[in-house]
Structure 1
Amino acid sequence: MEAKEFEVIIIGGSYAGLSTAMTLGRSLRKTLIIDAGKPCNRQSPHSHNFLTQDGSTPKEIAQIAKKQVAQYESISFYDGLATSGKKSDKGFEITTSKGAIFTAKKLVFAAGVKDLMPDIKGFSECWGISVVHCPYCHGYEIRNQKTAIIANGERAIHLATLVHNLTKEITIITLGKKNFEEKELQKLKEHRIQIIEKEVSAIEHQNGQLEKIVFKDGSSENFDCAYAAIPFEQNSKIPQELGCKITENGHIEVNFMQKTTEEGIFACGDNSTMMRSVSMAVSGGTITGAMINHELSQENF
């Protein structure tokens, strides 16, 4: 690439980043998208709950989006990993793993998060296929099946209330001693939701389709699917390097305009909200692009 200076740099070129770029491209803003090409949902067979694209693969949606964004001449793409960033007299300076350096007045983080897989054999192979995180994204497809909820405490109860509308065969696997209040235990009993207080050693599956959950005591039980609450970390460490505040849940803190706690820096997509879905990422990206264009317009007028 010849150009090194931009009005906006977007780190992350999936749904949130591309949505931001489309809004900026339509406003003729000179914008660079830096993307490493590893979206967190790349293993999911289909994407749902997104109008006009319900049932498409994540890859198909991203390919269409990138093709449409690329039509705007002020948008540039860089295939690579952004590894460091710093503030400069021009705004921000971003360095990639290949040593390329780019500058911009505004910075957008849309690199998403990295799910941290538990030490359970077969779990990662099933993740996004038959072991899922979201009833809205996947629940309809696995409705009326024998379902495990691999979680404990408040998170398990939250999932149970949502999943109960989709199937009546639910078992909560707490991975150890259960952590529920008495009134919660009563509710679970009323809805015939079983609790297994055992740690899991493996998930037996066929090409990512769960068949059996094996416990550390040697016992096992057949299931068709499972929901799981697992930890995550930010895909990019640069926001923290630049002083952006991280919430107690691990997200980049943003306001309703997608602005972080650092002036000139925005964030959108999975890295800044617990509502992880394609539609929410696109919405956040559109807001981000509009707010950045508004700021640049005010500064340049």
Structure 2
Amino acid sequence: MVDYDVVVVGGGTAGLSAALTLARAGRRVTVVDKGEPRNSPAAHLHGFLSRDGTAPADMLRVGREEVAGYGGTFLDTAVTTARPGPHGGFVAELETGRRLTARALLVATGLRDILPSVAGVAELWGGDVLHCPYCHGHEVRDKPVGVLGGENRPFSLHQASLVRQWSPDVVFFPHPIELADEERERFLARGVRVVEGPVERLETDGGRLAAVRMGDGSAVERSALFVGPRFVPRDELLTGLGCEVGPSGWVTVDASGATSVPGVWAAGNVVSEAAQLASAAGAGMTSAIALNHHLLADDIDSAVAHYRATGTAVSD
């Protein structure tokens, strides 16, 4: 007998939502999570109905309590590798050296934000250096805001135009990006000031962003700065299992979160760079329902085989 019906790898919003749904369905489920959520630098989360303004750690604590209330368990460690089991299902190797067996896996390990290599960005990340206007734009509305260009050119240009929706005082620092005349004109028409040239560092006053220091020595006073990180999925477990990777470089899943490997589902930022808290929670629940149906089909097949062999129903 395997240890669990499902091992959920990753205890963020997607993983906890999946675990809650599976536990309420009576499945034996455990969540393996080392406690390093992507949004931990942020003081508050926003845009999640009924939880707006909640500290990320508080939301995860409540989520864990809800999962545990239905019999779900937690292991505060990491899964280092996963492989198919010798008799079906999967074996997950933990950082502690323990091995777990499960009928199915749900991977919700999220992604890493690779920040621009400008001094001060990492130190202020999640505070005055932000990524998502929908998550934090309202909190810096009407303040002097900057947008720093990055590796993802289309994203940076879109972000600079979008942030203008929250503040009349927006400066776009293209940094490594060379703007075409038409692009520069669009910013001017939108009321976005463009300050070109390399950005040297961010300057602070009392631990808060004060100014963006340019390579020529000039400084542009700003209260907040939006950046576009490079998103790298934490998908080593998925690729190690042989899950198909699409042209974008991300593991592909269907609408339910099923990967190309039977019995393996994925939800949240590990397969979607655009997933926010609410959509990640929805994806976790969707994957859990589909995964439960996958297990149900197996349960029915086993019950039929048992009935044909013994003439009796399977007892719980």
State the 1:42 CA deviation: 0.5
Structure 2 matches for 1:74-85, cutoff 5 A? 75-85=72-82
Alpha-carbon spacing, 1:227–1:246, altered in 2? closer, same or farther (3 Å): farther
Alpha-carbon spacing, 1:179–1:92, altered in 2? closer, same or farther (3 Å): farther
Tell me, in whole angstroms, the C-alpha distance in 2 between the residues paired with 1:94 and 1:61.
Answer: 27
Determine helix, strand or coil for the equivalent of 2:139: coil
Q: Deviations over 1:16-37 (max 9, x none)?
A: 1000000000111111210010
Q: For the Cα contact (< 8 Å) 2:12–2:60, is it kept in 1?
A: yes
Tell me, in whole angstroms, the C-alpha distance in 2 between the residues paired with 1:270 and 1:208.
Answer: 30
Alpha-carbon spacing, 1:4–1:106, altered in 2? closer, same or farther (3 Å): closer
**What residue identity is the alignment partner of 2:166?**
L
State the 1:118 CA deviation: 2.8
Q: How many residues align?
A: 297
Q: For the Cα contact (< 8 Å) 2:146–2:171, is it kept in 1?
A: yes
Q: Deviations over 1:239-269 (max 9, x none)?
A: 1111123345553322211112222111111
TM-score by length of 1: 0.92
Tell me, in whole angstroms, the C-alpha distance in 2 between the residues paired with 1:177 and 1:155.
Answer: 12
Q: For the Cα contact (< 8 Å) 1:147–1:223, is it kept in 2?
A: yes
Task: Identify which range, 268-277 or 225-234, moves more after superposition.
Answer: 268-277
Q: For the Cα contact (< 8 Å) 2:33–2:75, is it kept in 1?
A: yes
Corresponding residue of 1:122: 120
Structure 2 matches for 1:145-294, cutoff 5 A? 145-151=143-149, 153-180=153-180, 182-206=181-205, 209-294=208-293
**What residue identity is the alignment partner of 2:97?**
G
- What residue ranges of structure 2 are gaps of 5+ in the alignment? 301-316
- Asked if 1:87 corresponds to 2:110, the answer is no
- What residue ranges of structure 1 are gaps of 5+ in the alignment? none
Q: For the Cα contact (< 8 Å) 2:233–2:269, is it kept in 1?
A: no
Q: For the Cα contact (< 8 Å) 1:126–1:210, is it kept in 2?
A: yes
TM-score by length of 2: 0.88
Task: Identify which range, 109-118 or 15-24, moves more after superposition.
Answer: 109-118
Q: For the Cα contact (< 8 Å) 2:67–2:73, is it kept in 1?
A: no
State the 1:198 CA deviation: 2.2
**Counterpart among 128, 131, 139 of residue 129 in structure 2:** 131
State the 1:199 CA deviation: 2.3
Alpha-carbon spacing, 1:44–1:25, altered in 2? closer, same or farther (3 Å): same
State the 1:216 CA deviation: 3.0
Tell me, in whole angstroms, the C-alpha distance in 2 between the residues paired with 1:197 and 1:162.
Answer: 19
Alpha-carbon spacing, 1:120–1:166, altered in 2? closer, same or farther (3 Å): same
Corresponding residue of 2:48: 50
**What residue identity is the alignment partner of 1:34?**
V
Tell me, in whole angstroms, the C-alpha distance in 1 between the residues paired with 2:158 and 2:134.
Answer: 13
Determine helix, strand or coil for the equivalent of 1:211: strand
The higher radius of gyration belongs to 2
RMSD: 1.9
Q: For the Cα contact (< 8 Å) 1:234–1:250, is it kept in 2?
A: no
- Asked if 1:64 corresponds to 2:36, the answer is no
